[in-house]
Amino acid sequence: MLVHLHQYAHEELQYDDNRTAGEAQTEEGVDRDPESYFGEELDLDAATWETVEYNDAPVQRRELVFDDVTAVSRPADPETGDPSLPGGPLQVRRSGSVEEFENSHVVEAEDPTPD
């Protein structure tokens, strides 16, 4: 099964109250060359975070896509997660392993070969 998630987190840097979703934190972050900004070990396949608005505040969101998922579940009574962020805890099971994601929600789950 193919599963597409959104995961949310608070911004780690201070932000300008006049900034809108999608704007850079500072001009320095935009004008730096990629090697000096990211370092030598740049993983182009890594999920990147983008700034979106939630309850009139900027938060970070990243898209995660998994293939060969056997199950997706949400705890019945979640005790973890940040109530000021969208989503909740999710578990994604694949090939005998279980990955947990906080403050997440399922965008789409598709089985290309249903029985």
Burial class of residue 5, CB neighbours in 10 A (0-12, 13-18, 19+)? buried
The pair of structure tokens assigned to 4 is 């597409």
pLDDT at 113: 80
Whether 74 is in a domain gets the answer yes
Query: How many domains does one find in the chain?
Result: 1
Q: Distance between CA atoms of 64 and 94, rounded to whole angstroms?
A: 14
pLDDT at 41: 55
Contact in structure between 5 and 101 (CB atoms under 8 Å): yes
Q: Give the residue among 8, 1, 2, 4 at the shortest CA–CA distance from 89.
A: 8
pLDDT at 103: 92
pLDDT at 69: 93
Residue ranges of the chain whose pLDDT lies below 50: 15
Whether 69 is in a domain gets the answer yes
Say if pTM beats, i.e. exceeds, 0.85. Answer: no
User: To which H or E segment does residue 45 belong?
Assistant: none
Domain that holds residue 103: 2-110
Whether 115 is in a domain gets the answer no
